[in-house]
Amino acid sequence: MDYRLRCSRCASYSRDNTRFRCRSCGSVLEVEYNYRSLALPDNFRSLRISNGKYVPFFPVESLRAGLGEGGTQLLQRHMRITKGIKLYLKMETKNPTRSFKDRGSSVEITKALDFGFDRVVCASTGNMGMSIAHYAKVMGIGATIFISANANKAKVAKIRKYGARVVRVDKDFNEALRKAEAFALSESAFVCGDYHFRKEGQKTVIYEILEQMRYDVPDFIFVPVGNATLLSAIHKGLMEFRMLGWIDRLPRIIAVQSEGCDPLVRAYGRKSRISYMVPNTVADAIAVGYPTFGTQGLMALRDTRGDAIRVPDHKITEAVRLLGKEGIFAETGGAAGFAGLLEMRGWKGRLLEGKKVVVVVTGNNEPRGRIWS
């Protein structure tokens, strides 16, 4: 689709599509489409779901770096602990590098190739770095990954195995982000990570859920939050399908963070802006002290009459265990959405009674060095 990049804060348009932040105010950018240029094939609805199917909704002509991401199962599960709830689990662990990140990486690496870059750089708590390293390697370009101090060793080893250069930062994700952005400017590398192009690729999580549910909109959707890119991508995807008249209502989005890293939950509760906090949580994947798409995430919650909830770490590990008993393997950050559902069921159970609830199981790269299969 035809697009322009627009600043999410000062609304100015960017003349250079390779930019990763607004030139005037430094805020994140948004892809703004000319939806009149949207061209869908007549058989669109009957095509098999995958990121490739949704190319007309992306800012690319073709998905050169598509590696089979998307098309993940939506499992309906009856569990004793969620009795009375119509529970669906969106299995993002089934992507090539076992997290939803691959959906965004296919678009970002395609853009890097289209713009003629031969290397990319990315800051990550682990999963995004793994995903970018894999996509860059397959497409024959170099990758440098700045990784936060709390990232687990297995993820770092995997990134190296994919042939990327790893720079370990002795602080948290936000410090890794600053270093990666500085590296991009000094080394002319294309910046990947939680920016506008990734958000476009990650919209497909909700497209697929809606298609798999035959456009019967769920009542709730639980999403773990780090940078809030997935949360705001889901919101954008919903807006697009509503604009097309394919859905007529929205699910309530419930954002879930760990008690030890909950800047979005705090801001939502206080109706204030997001403030940075030092992350301290077992859920290494979502240990982000200042979410890049935080403001957009808050908007997604307000727009969908959603909520933001925090869960203690021991409940996240319990969620990993309970899912595991069902044969569903997730890492801590990947199971946080399910932990949020259990938490909400504890104090607002009646609200969930008889409702269709989707939980996005976002990743499965286990923290203690063991990778589930």
Among 50, 105, 106, 124, binds ligand F0G (CB under 6 A): 124
End-to-end CA distance of the chain: 37
Among 50, 72, 97, 99, binds ligand F0G (CB under 6 A): 99
- Which contiguous run of DSSP H or E holds residue 146? strand 142-147
Q: Give least dist CB 294 to ligand F0G, A.
A: 9
With H, G, I as helix, E, B as strand and everything else as coil, classify residue 336: helix
Asked if 228 interacts with ligand F0G (CB under 6 A), we say yes
Q: Give least dist CB 84 to ligand F0G, A.
A: 27
Residue nearest to ligand F0G (CB): 363
Length of the chain equals 373
Asked if 334 interacts with ligand F0G (CB under 6 A), we say yes
Asked if 274 interacts with ligand F0G (CB under 6 A), we say no
The one-character DSSP state at 28 is: B
Interatomic CA distance for residues 312 and 10, integer angstroms? 36
Asked if 201 interacts with ligand F0G (CB under 6 A), we say no
Interatomic CA distance for residues 43 and 70, integer angstroms? 19
Among 220, 306, 362, 367, binds ligand F0G (CB under 6 A): 362
Among 189, 286, 298, 358, binds ligand F0G (CB under 6 A): 286
Asked if 152 interacts with ligand F0G (CB under 6 A), we say no
Asked if 224 interacts with ligand F0G (CB under 6 A), we say yes
Among 89, 156, 285, 357, binds ligand F0G (CB under 6 A): 285
Asked if 367 interacts with ligand F0G (CB under 6 A), we say no
Assign 3-class secondary structure to 158-219.
HHHHCCCEEEECCCCHHHHHHHHHHHHHHHCCEEECCCHHHHHHHCHHHHHHHHHCCCCCCC
Q: At how many degrees (to 10) do helices 229-243 and 294-303 cross?
A: 50
Asked if 363 interacts with ligand F0G (CB under 6 A), we say yes
Nearer to ligand F0G, 56 or 324 (CB): 324
Among 59, 70, 226, 237, binds ligand F0G (CB under 6 A): 226
CA 310 from chain centre, in angstroms, equals 18
Q: Given the structure tokens 């999403």, which residue do they identify?
A: 223
Site residues, ligand F0G (CB under 6 A): 99, 101, 124-128, 194, 224-231, 285-286, 288, 333-334, 362-363
